[in-house]
Structure 1
């Protein structure tokens, strides 16, 4: 489901309110999967672009990151990482953006910290154990997903006191199977990891397949034995007015692409 918090007077440069998609499983936890609606960036990255490496105006990016955080957990300190498509998860520590660690997942048990993961086709995953007061966020591109980024996040949450069977997770906007064409070598890599992975591929044009990234991540989470998993079923590629997409920008030969953000924190 989605809601659109009202825009404040000093957001006059934003074309529309910030759109926040929420997961039913995470109800009661401050969280949101955001898209491109409601920011101040212009041009090819118009909207709520939060990507520090996108080549966008740094002032616009900073404003967008503030708008995003305020739409989910007003007054919280936003913490992100330098994402590298790894399987590394770290405990969130506030600090300058220039000093953020290289990793692809964050966990915390500290109120007032807002964990943020940037995506532009990869799958954002938000986690929570309400009883333990522990949350997590992961960036699951295909490399991180097959490498175990969701497993690493769950393990890191357990170290902070979460119980695996009490953790719930939601997979947000990412490139959908109908939009994600891959070659034989890509499919074979997943088949070697586990024969059952072939169920996440559909035959496409000769020598190619359609990969279900969300389905793979959901299956991986279920196999980890957590309490429950929800996939939002939102395709970044086919919704240019709602979401940024690396693959769509590449196909259109656009010079740059924006990044959206997914957020979770403890009030």
Structure 2
């Protein structure tokens, strides 16, 4: 087993956090590395152990809290540790309780970690295109504010996700974003006929800035292009692979 790689954001200095990729872990084959996806089809014993290893790499001794992700704009507030096996249906979670490791799984979607250090409140969001467009980051900020955060103090970091060069979409996808806001056209570059390249990371950063988050860091790491470091749903799909692994991003107090 290789050493687990923990990627950190300068914006979150002083906060226990990490964007983890596939390096380290016990899984093998197409899942090789630190696959934490319970529903991925991987050996569940390996996945369970990988989840423990991931949490230990970021916040030793903290129980890992995750949600059953549904590509929504739903955020849940965790005020007590979840019971074993319980995963609320949502795509973001926030807490002010020390000793919990909040985890978001991705495999091309954008993981976003949040912190208001002064208030002692953190959050994590899974922002795929659907959740990002629906406002999952806005919902996370509102949930943090509901337990005492101030958005003027919240800092956010956007972790490894599929980059524009790797994210080809059709004209219907472009129209969906432009119908929501014509200014969203700026997140698309021309591609082949009737296709475009979508910049998910920049879109998420813009949503955060519009929401009033003053300090935002985007790591600029492409999950699709960097097979050695990251799992990628789209890469697996393009190769005709039957399944794919998931990586995790974690934050806690």
Same fold by TM-score greater than 0.5: yes
- Which ranges of structure 1 fall in alignment gaps of 5 or more residues? 1-13
1:180-236 CA distance string (max 9 Å, x none): 000000000000111110000000000000000000000000000012111000000
CA distance in 2, matches of 1:257, 1:171: 22
Counterpart position of 1:81: 67
CA distance in 2, matches of 1:84, 1:95: 18
Counterpart position of 1:31: 17
Confirm or deny that 1:142 pairs with 2:129.
yes
Confirm or deny that 1:244 pairs with 2:216.
no
1:144-167 CA distance string (max 9 Å, x none): 000000000000000110001000
Counterpart position of 1:217: 204
1:24-74 CA distance string (max 9 Å, x none): 000000000000000100100000000000011111001100110011000
CA distance in 2, matches of 1:262, 1:160: 22
Confirm or deny that 1:57 pairs with 2:43.
yes
Q: How far is 1:141 from its partner?
A: 0.2
SS in 1 for 2:152: helix
Which residue, out of 145, 160, 169, partners 1:173?
160
Q: How far is 1:98 from its partner?
A: 3.4
Counterpart position of 1:162: 149
Counterpart position of 2:3: 17
SS in 1 for 2:85: helix
What TM-score, normalized by structure 1, do the two folds share? 0.93
CA distance in 1, matches of 2:20, 2:8: 9
Confirm or deny that 1:48 pairs with 2:34.
yes
Confirm or deny that 1:128 pairs with 2:122.
no
CA distance in 1, matches of 2:221, 2:31: 19
Q: How far is 1:96 from its partner?
A: 4.0
